[in-house]
C-alpha cells in the first residue's frame, strides 16, 4: 500500500525576491546527482513528476532511479509510471469521455460501490471547439449562421457536456465558439507551472487529441493519448509509458526573407519522419531558438503526430516568458514560473554558458536553408519545394496509384471538363483548386502567417486579382484573438473580398468538415473523373479526409493557401508562370503579391496586443447566450434517453462482475479485413460526413432522422450504435480481400458475399465467430482516436496482426481488450503467403502471470501454415488491463477494492 513520500527530504521553500514565499517544491539539484544535469529538459519533467508522486505503490523509488539513469535505461525500453498535472479534452473526444464517466458511475452503482468516487482527480479542461461544418462560407455573417446551425444540430450534445460540467468536480468546460482546443490551451489554459496547495510543479498535460502537442511550444510537456488513457489519468491512475529516447534537434541561423513557419515545419516533419522518431521525444535547442517566436515553436510542436514523435518540446526560455506576458498572464504568475524553473534548473538562459545535454540521437538544421514548400498530395511528410511543384504534379498524374500517384492516362491529362456555374460557362482541369481553406489547427496560433495571408490578399486585391467563385474558400481562426488583430490591422476586409470570410472558431476543413462543394462543380469532377485539388493550412491531408471529391490535397502556409486560391490550380510554377491578370490587363506573378518578412513583422508588432488576449478570455468564461440558455438536468447519475441518436449508454460494462475475466486467446477467427501499409485512424475511425448509403445512415433513417440532420460522425461520438456502424466506413479504404476495389466493404469469408464492414462483422458476431485484422506497417498512424479502438472492439475484433503500430493506437487497442501482435522482422501477410481467407488461432496462456510483455506466440491457421508473432503488451500495467477486459473495467474494480 501507499506510504510517505521517500523524497520529502528534498522538499524546499521557494522564496520571493521581495520577501515571502511562492511555495514549496521538490528540488532536483538537492539530489546532488550529476546525471540530472545532463538530462534533456523533457525528461526532467518526467523525473519531477515521479519524485513528487512517489508513494512506493503506484510510483516507486526504483522508477525515479530509472529516469535519473535515463542515458542507460532509455535504450532498454523500460517502463515508468507518469502522472500528468492535468487532462485536456476537446468537444468530440470529450463527449465519449464524459459518456464513459457517466456509464462508470452507473456500473459502480450496480456493483455496490460509491458512484461519486467516479470523479476527475486531476484538473480536466474540456474545450468545446465545436467542429464547424463550412456550409456557410462566403458571407459576412458566416460565424453567426454557422454557430446557429451548430447549436441546432448539436444542442443535445452541448447540453450533455453542460450537465457534465456541474455533475463532475474538477472539470472546467470552455463553451462553444471560443476557439480550437489547442490554441485555447496555448493562449489561456497552459499554466507552465502549477501551484496546488502550496506545492509548485511543472505543468504537464495529456489530451484526447494528438495535436495536444502544440502546448510543447510553451515548454509544457504534453501529448495526445486515447480517450481511454485520458479517462484513467483523470481517475488518478498513473499512465504507464516506456521511458522514451530523446532526439536532440539543433536549430542554427535564421529563416530567409519570405520563408514562413509552415515551410519550416514541413521541412522538420520530413526530416524527422526520415530519421524515425515514433515513440520518442524530440527536443529543440541551439542558437537558432532565439530567432523562433513562440507561435513558430507552437506550429512545429503541433505537427508532432505528423512526424511521428510523442512530442516536439521547446524548453522554457525568455521567449516563453514574453509570450506569457503578451497573452495576458499576470506579472506575479510569470515571476513565480521563472523563479521555480530557474531554481529547479529547468529554465534555459541563452545568455549563460550551456551545459551540453545528452540525447539519444542528433539532428541539425540551418534555418537559412529552409525554402518555401507545400506537402502532398496525400501525406503530410511528402514535402515538395515550391519551385518543383509543377514538375512534381505532372509526375503525380503519371505515376501509378499510390501516395504520389494518380495514374491518369497521358491522353486524358489535358482534358477540360466544361460545366455551367450558375449560368456562367466554366471548366475544370486536373489539379484545379476547388477548396482553399485557412484552417484552425496548425497555423492560426501564429500571427505572422495569418497576417502574412492577409497581406497577400491586400496586394492581390489592389492589383485586381480575384478568386474563381466556385472555389470554396474559408477562414477558421483558432481563437477570437485572431479576429481582433486581423480587424485592428485593417486587413480582414481584403480576405473577405477574396472569399476568405471567418466561418467559425473550431475544426473545419482539415477534419473533413468542408461541407458540400457546389453541385455543378461536384458533377464536373465526378462525371469526368477529374483529380481536383484542395489546399489547406492544416496538418492532415490523407486521402478521403478533406473531401470525397478532392483526390489531391496539399498542406500549405496560410499565405500560400491564398496564393493557390488566386492561381486556381496546383499545376503552376510560381517562378515563371503568372498567377493571374490584373485590372489593367497586366500579368501578375507570385513575387508581386508576396510580402517581405519585414512587412509581416511590422504589422504583427502594431496589431497583436496583450489586451486582445485578456478581453477574449474574460469573455469565454461568461459563455454566450445560446450556451447560457441551454437547460440541463441535475443529478450525479445521467438519465439516458433510449431514443437519443446523440448520447447512448455503451455496452462496455454489460454483465460486468467483480472478478476479472482473465486473458483470452483467439480460436478459429476469420479475417475481417486485410490491409497493407499506412492504414491511418482516418481509415479506421468514423470521421467526417455520414454517407447516405452507409450502415450509419440506414440506422439514422430507421430512427426517424432526416438526411439533412445526419450531421457528422464527430458530432455523434457519444452514440456507440452510430460509431460502430461508421468504423472502417472510409470511402478510400483499400482492403486486399476486395482484390483492387476501393471502399468500405469486405468479403464475408464463409459465404463469399461482399458486404459493408459493419454488416459482415455483425454476421460473424451473430454466429459466435471471432475476427482478426491483418495489416502492414504503421497501422493506426494519424490522430489519436479512441473510436479507432472502441469501434473494432464493438465489431468483435479480437486481435490485430500488423508489421508495426503507431504508439497511441496500439495502446488504445490494449485498453479496449484487443490483442496487438507484430509480425517478425522481414515478414508480413504477403511474405507468409496469407490471403486472409484462412482461419486464425492465437494461443495465449489463460493466466496473466504466464504472459510477459513482448513475448512471442504462435499463430496457427487452418491452412496448416503457422508463424511467430510478438505480443505487443509493452508493460505489466497493460497486461493488467487486458486481464480485466479493458482499462475502464480495471479502474472500476480498483476503486471498489477488488484484488488486482
| Mean pLDDT (10-residue bins), the chain, 900 residues | 87 94 98 97 98 92 97 93 94 87 92 88 87 60 78 86 92 86 92 96 93 95 86 84 95 94 91 93 95 92 90 97 94 97 96 90 97 92 93 95 92 94 95 90 77 97 96 89 93 96 77 80 94 89 82 94 97 96 93 95 93 86 85 88 92 91 92 94 87 94 92 88 95 91 94 97 97 95 81 96 88 91 96 96 87 91 95 85 90 72
Per the structure, how many domains does the chain have? Answer: 4
Within a domain: 383: no
**Cα–Cα nearest to 644, from 143, 251, 159, 77:** 159
Number of alpha carbons in the 13 Å side-chain half-sphere of residue 307: 30
> Would you state the pLDDT for residue 134?
64
Within 10 angstroms of residue 836's Cβ, the number of other Cβ atoms is 21
Say how far apart CA 389 and CA 430 lie, in whole Å. Answer: 14
**Cα–Cα nearest to 96, from 606, 882, 525, 722:** 722
Q: Say whether both 531 and 584 belong to one domain.
A: yes
Q: Say whether both 447 and 574 belong to one domain.
A: yes
H/E element, 363 = strand 361-366
Within a domain: 489: yes
Q: Say whether both 471 and 570 belong to one domain.
A: yes
Say how far apart CA 88 and CA 124 lie, in whole Å. Answer: 6
Which of the listed residues 215, 242, 269 is the one where a domain comes to its end? 242
Within a domain: 772: yes
Q: What are the two backbone dihedrals, phi and then psi, of residue 382, each rounded to the nearest 5 degrees? A: -90, 75
Strand 666-674 with 866-871, pairing: unpaired
> Would you state the pLDDT for residue 37?
95
Strand 239-242 with 383-385, pairing: unpaired
Indicate the SS3 state at residue 770.
coil
Q: Say whether both 729 and 867 belong to one domain.
A: yes
> Would you state the pLDDT for residue 135?
60
Mutual orientation of helices 227-234 and 887-896 as an angle, nearest 10°?
10
Strand partners, 181: none
Q: Residue 514, class by beta-carbon neighbours within 10 Å (0-12 exposed, 13-18 middle, 19+ buried)?
A: buried
Say how far apart CA 477 and CA 612 lie, in whole Å. Answer: 14
H/E element, 752 = none
User: Helix %, strand %, coil % for the chain, to 5?
Assistant: 40, 20, 40
Say how far apart CA 572 and CA 389 lie, in whole Å. Answer: 7
Q: Say whether both 65 and 91 belong to one domain.
A: no
Q: Find cell 469469408 and name the residue.
A: 749
Say how far apart CA 200 and CA 195 lie, in whole Å. Answer: 5
Q: Say whether both 547 and 416 belong to one domain.
A: yes
Contact 137, 499 (CB under 8 A): yes
Contact 475, 467 (CB under 8 A): no
H/E element, 334 = helix 331-343
Q: Which domain holds residue 573?
A: 410-618
Distance of CA 870 to the CA centre of its chain: 28
Within a domain: 401: no
Say how far apart CA 657 and CA 645 lie, in whole Å. Answer: 28
Q: Say whether both 420 and 355 belong to one domain.
A: no
Within a domain: 395: no
Q: Say whether both 438 and 582 belong to one domain.
A: yes
Contact 312, 210 (CB under 8 A): no
Say how far apart CA 200 and CA 194 lie, in whole Å. Answer: 6
Q: Say whether both 51 and 127 belong to one domain.
A: no
Q: What are the two backbone dihedrals, phi and then psi, of residue 561, each rounded to the nearest 5 degrees? A: -60, -45
Say how far apart CA 428 and CA 415 lie, in whole Å. Answer: 8
Within a domain: 779: yes
Q: What are the two backbone dihedrals, phi and then psi, of residue 695, each rounded to the nearest 5 degrees? A: -55, -35
Length of the chain: 900
Say how far apart CA 433 and CA 469 lie, in whole Å. Answer: 11
Within a domain: 5: no
Contact 156, 626 (CB under 8 A): no
Q: Say whether both 342 and 258 belong to one domain.
A: yes
**Cα–Cα nearest to 707, from 696, 722, 721, 717:** 696
CATH number at residue 704: 3.20.19.10
Q: Give every strand in the sheet of 21-26, ordered side by side.
A: 11-15, 21-26, 199-202, 193-196
Q: Find cell 489592389 and name the residue.
A: 462
Say how far apart CA 721 and CA 651 lie, in whole Å. Answer: 10
Which of the listed residues 242, 261, 288 is the one where a domain comes to its end? 242
Query: Helical H runs in 353-473?
Result: 389-398, 447-463
Which of the listed residues 181, 210, 242 is the one where a domain comes to its end? 242
Contact 350, 286 (CB under 8 A): no
CATH number at residue 93: 3.30.499.10
Strand 21-26 with 199-202, pairing: parallel
Q: Say whether both 806 and 735 belong to one domain.
A: yes
> Would you state the pLDDT for residue 471?
95
Indicate the SS3 state at residue 481.
helix
Within a domain: 729: yes
Q: Say whether both 758 and 833 belong to one domain.
A: yes
> Would you state the pLDDT for residue 443?
65
**Cα–Cα nearest to 814, from 843, 846, 780, 839:** 780
Q: What are the two backbone dihedrals, phi and then psi, of residue 798, each rounded to the nearest 5 degrees? A: -100, -25
The residues, any chain, with a CB within 8 Å of residue 876's CB and separated by 6 or more, are: 79, 240, 853
Q: What is the DSSP string of 160-179?
A: HHHHHHHHSTTEEEEPTTSB
At 496, list the grid cell: 473577405
The residues, any chain, with a CB within 8 Å of residue 197's CB and separated by 6 or more, are: none
Amino acid at each position: 500500500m501507499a506510504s510517505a513520500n521517500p523524497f520529502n527530504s528534498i522538499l524546499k521553500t521557494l522564496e520571493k525576491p521581495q520577501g515571502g514565499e511562492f511555495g514549496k517544491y521538490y528540488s532536483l539539484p538537492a539530489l546532488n546527482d550529476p546525471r540530472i544535469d545532463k538530462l534533456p529538459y523533457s525528461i526532467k519533467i518526467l523525473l519531477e513528476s515521479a519524485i513528487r508522486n512517489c508513494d512506493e505503490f503506484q510510483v516507486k523509488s526504483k522508477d525515479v532511479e530509472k529516469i535519473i539513469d535515463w542515458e542507460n535505461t532509455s535504450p532498454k525500453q523500460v517502463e515508468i509510471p507518469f502522472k500528468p498535472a492535468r487532462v485536456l479534452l476537446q468537444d468530440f473526444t470529450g463527449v465519449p469521455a464524459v459518456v464513459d464517466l457517466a456509464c462508470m458511475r452507473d456500473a459502480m452503482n450496480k456493483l455496490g460501490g460509491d458512484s461519486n468516487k467516479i470523479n476527475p482527480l486531476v484538473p480536466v479542461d474540456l474545450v468545446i471547439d465545436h467542429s464547424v461544418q463550412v456550409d456557410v462560407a462566403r458571407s459576412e455573417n458566416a460565424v453567426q449562421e454557422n454557430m446557429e446551425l451548430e447549436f441546432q444540430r448539436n444542442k443535445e450534445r452541448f447540453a450533455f457536456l453542460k450537465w457534465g460540467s456541474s455533475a463532475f468536480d474538477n472539470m472546467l468546460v470552455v463553451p462553444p465558439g471560443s476557439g480550437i482546443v489547442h490554441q485555447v490551451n496555448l493562449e489561456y489554459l497552459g499554466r507552465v507551472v502549477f501551484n496546488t496547495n502550496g506545492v509548485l510543479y511543472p505543468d504537464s498535460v495529456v489530451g484526447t487529441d494528438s495535436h495536444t502537442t502544440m502546448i510543447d511550444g510553451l515548454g509544457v510537456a504534453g501529448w495526445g493519448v486515447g480517450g481511454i488513457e485520458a479517462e484513467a489519468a483523470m481517475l488518478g491512475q498513473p499512465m504507464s509509458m516506456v521511458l522514451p529516447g530523446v532526439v536532440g534537434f539543433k536549430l542554427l541561423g535564421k529563416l530567409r526573407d519570405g520563408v514562413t513557419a509552415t515551410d519550416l515545419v514541413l521541412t522538420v516533419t520530413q526530416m524527422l519522419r526520415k530519421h524515425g522518431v515514433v515513440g520518442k521525444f524530440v527536443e529543440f535547442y541551439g542558437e537558432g531558438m532565439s530567432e523562433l517566436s513562440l507561435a513558430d515553436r507552437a506550429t512545429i510542436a503541433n505537427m508532432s503526430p505528423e512526424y511521428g514523435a510523442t512530442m516536439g518540446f521547446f524548453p522554457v526560455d525568455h521567449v516563453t516568458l514574453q509570450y506569457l506576458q503578451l497573452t495576458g498572464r499576470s506579472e506575479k504568475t510569470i515571476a513565480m514560473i521563472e523563479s521555480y524553473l530557474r531554481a529547479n534548473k529547468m529554465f534555459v538562459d541563452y545568455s549563460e554558458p550551456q551545459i551540453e545535454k545528452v540525447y539519444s540521437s542528433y539532428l541539425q538544421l540551418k534555418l537559412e536553408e529552409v525554402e518555401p514548400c507545400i506537402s502532398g498530395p496525400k501525406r503530410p511528410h511528402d514535402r515538395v519545394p515550391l519551385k518543383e511543384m509543377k514538375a512534381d504534379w505532372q509526375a503525380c498524374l503519371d505515376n501509378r496509384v499510390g501516395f504520389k500517384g494518380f495514374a491518369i492516362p497521358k491522353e486524358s491529362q489535358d482534358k477540360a471538363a466544361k460545366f455551367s456555374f450558375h449560368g456562367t460557362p466554366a471548366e475544370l482541369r486536373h489539379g484545379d483548386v476547388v477548396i482553399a481553406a485557412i484552417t484552425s489547427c496548425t497555423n492560426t496560433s501564429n500571427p505572422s502567417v495569418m497576417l502574412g495571408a492577409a497581406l497577400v490578399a491586400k496586394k492581390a486585391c489592389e492589383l485586381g486579382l480575384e478568386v474563381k467563385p466556385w472555389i470554396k474558400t474559408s477562414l477558421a481562426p483558432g481563437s477570437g484573438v485572431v479576429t481582433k488583430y486581423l480587424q485592428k490591422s485593417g486587413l480582414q476586409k481584403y480576405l473577405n473580398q477574396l472569399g476568405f470570410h471567418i466561418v467559425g472558431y473550431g475544426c473545419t476543413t482539415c477534419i473533413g468538415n468542408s461541407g458540400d462543394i457546389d453541385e455543378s462543380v461536384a458533377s464536373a469532377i465526378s462525371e469526368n473523373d477529374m483529380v481536383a485539388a484542395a489546399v489547406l493550412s492544416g496538418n492532415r491531408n490523407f486521402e478521403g479526409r478533406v473531401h470525397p471529391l478532392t483526390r489531391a490535397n496539399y498542406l500549405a502556409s496560410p499565405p500560400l493557401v491564398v496564393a493557390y486560391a488566386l492561381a486556381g490550380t496546383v499545376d503552376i510554377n510560381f517562378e515563371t508562370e503568372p498567377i493571374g491578370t490584373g485590372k489593367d490587363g497586366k500579368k501578375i506573378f507570385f513575387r508581386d503579391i508576396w510580402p517581405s518578412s519585414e512587412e509581416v513583422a511590422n504589422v504583427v508588432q502594431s496589431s497583436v496586443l496583450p489586451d486582445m488576449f485578456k478581453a477574449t478570455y474574460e469573455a469565454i468564461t461568461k459563455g454566450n447566450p445560446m450556451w447560457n440558455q441551454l437547460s440541463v438536468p441535475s443529478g450525479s447519475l445521467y438519465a439516458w434517453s433510449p431514443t437519443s441518436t446523440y448520447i447512448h449508454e455503451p455496452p462496455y460494462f454489460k454483465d460486468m462482475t467483480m472478478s476479472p475475466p482473465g486473458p483470452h486467446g483467439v480460436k478459429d477467427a476469420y479475417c475481417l479485413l486485410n490491409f497493407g501499409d499506412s492504414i491511418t485512424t482516418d481509415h479506421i475511425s468514423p470521421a467526417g460526413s455520414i454517407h447516405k448509403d452507409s450502415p450509419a445512415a440506414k440506422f439514422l433513417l430507421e430512427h426517424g432522422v432526416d438526411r439533412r440532420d445526419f450531421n457528422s460522425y464527430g458530432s455523434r461520438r457519444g452514440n456507440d450504435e452510430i460509431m460502430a456502424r461508421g468504423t472502417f466506413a472510409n470511402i478510400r479504404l483499400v482492403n486486399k480481400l476486395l482484390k483492387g476495389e476501393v471502399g468500405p466493404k469486405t468479403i464475408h469469408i464463409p459465404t463469399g458475399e461482399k458486404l459493408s464492414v459493419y454488416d459482415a462483422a455483425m454476421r460473424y458476431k451473430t454466429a459466435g465467430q471471432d475476427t482478426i485484422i491483418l495489416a502492414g506497417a504503421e497501422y493506426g498512424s494519424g490522430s489519436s482516436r479512441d473510436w479507432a479502438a472502441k469501434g473494432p472492439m464493438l465489431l468483435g475484433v479480437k486481435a490485430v496482426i500488423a508489421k508495426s503500430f503507431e504508439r497511441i493506437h496500439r495502446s488504445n487497442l490494449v485498453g479496449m481488450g484487443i490483442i496487438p501482435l507484430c509480425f517478425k522482422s522481414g515478414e508480413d501477410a504477403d511474405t507468409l503467403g496469407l490471403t486472409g481467407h484462412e482461419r486464425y488461432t492465437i494461443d495465449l496462456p489463460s493466466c496473466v502471470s504466464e504472459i510477459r510483455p513482448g513475448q512471442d506466440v504462435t499463430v496457427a491457421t487452418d491452412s496448416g501454415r503457422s508463424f511467430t508473432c510478438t505480443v505487443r503488451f509493452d508493460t505489466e500495467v497493460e497486461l493488467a488491463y487486458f486481464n480485466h477486459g479493458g482499462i475502464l473495467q480495471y479502474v472500476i474494480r480498483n476503486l471498489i477494492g477488488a484484488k488486482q
